[in-house]
Amino acid sequence: MDSNFDHLQNNVNEVETRLDKLHEDIILKLNECSNCIKSAQQLCHQATEMVAALEKKIGNLTSAEEEWKEIKGKLAQISIQSKVILDVGGEKFITCVETLTREKNTFFTALF
């Protein structure tokens, strides 16, 4: 009978050893999962910061582009309304860009 109890005790000890090992493995895996979650949270935070920075840059670029378009439009109007002095054989002629570009597909339309 003692042999059966010894055998039973050995089985219980073996199960306990396996459960202890399983417990350690589970704790290790849970710690790994916790580390992965922390890394994912850090990456998410960094991505959020990058998106905010990019949105700010896009806003700045949009503002700069609008300013550029406004300046370009003003320059185009000023250029069209500007007077031009032409030196033809030493004789100077004054005219405006609009007059020079009235005819399409000419040297002056390409120039202005």
Q: What is the pLDDT of residues 40-77, one digit of tens each?
A: 999 999 999 999 999 999 999 999 999 988 888 877 77
| Residues composing the chain | 112
- CB contact burial 73-111 (16+ within 10 A = b; e otherwise): eeeeeeeeeeebeeeeeeeeeeeebeebbeeeeeeeeee
- Residue 100 has a pLDDT of 81
Supply the range of the domain harboring residue 54.
2-77
Instruction: Assess whether pLDDT exceeds 80 at residue 101.
Output: yes
| Whether residue 15 has pLDDT greater than 80 | yes
50, 91: one domain: no
On whether both 59 and 109 belong to a single domain, the answer is no
Residue 1 has a pLDDT of: 61
- The verdict on 46 and 89 lying in the same domain is no
Supply the pLDDT for residue 81: 64
